[in-house]
Homo-oligomer: A and B are copies of this chain.
């Protein structure tokens, strides 16, 4: 969880989130809200004729849900700086349950704050990765006493 000051992160620190089951309702709501109705996510008949044989979740649905599983403590996390090398490595099917594992990969001092880069992996209930990315968060430094 991102609940520490910049100085307190150690490269190699890891944590693991709770899980969330990805439902048909999530696919419908994400398609609707985002406006991305690509038929692999929203048309069961079309999806039957693909290599997956069924509808799969949007990649950005998994990314967005994974950030919701990640606690960003106000006063510690200053801003979401960016994402590098995001890859959608496996499909997530309706009914799969995902969680996130993070590992601190590098730190970069930026003066008043610093950037903590973490390798994020979203895994399904079988322990297989479905999404990998490097998240960069701007983290506050510990205030002087």
Contact = CB atoms under 8 A, between A and B. Distances in A.
Contact of A45 (B28, B34, B97): B97
Contact of A21 (B44, B81, B83): B44
A82 B72 contact: no
A55 interface: yes
A108 interface: no
A18 B83 CA distance: 25
A102 to B, nearest CB: 15
A74 B24 contact: no
B65 A35 contact: yes
Range of interface residues on A (Cβ < 8 Å): 35 or more
A34 B86 contact: no
Contacts of A55: 21
Contacts of A38: 72, 74, 77
A109 interface: no
A3 interface: no
A145 interface: no
Interface string A1-35: 00000000000000000111101111011101111
23 contacts: A18-B46, A18-B74, A19-B39, A20-B37, A24-B25, A25-B25, A25-B28, A25-B29, A26-B33, A28-B29, A32-B32, A32-B33, A35-B69, A36-B68, A38-B77, A45-B97, A46-B97, A59-B80, A61-B64, A64-B64, A82-B88, A84-B84, A84-B85
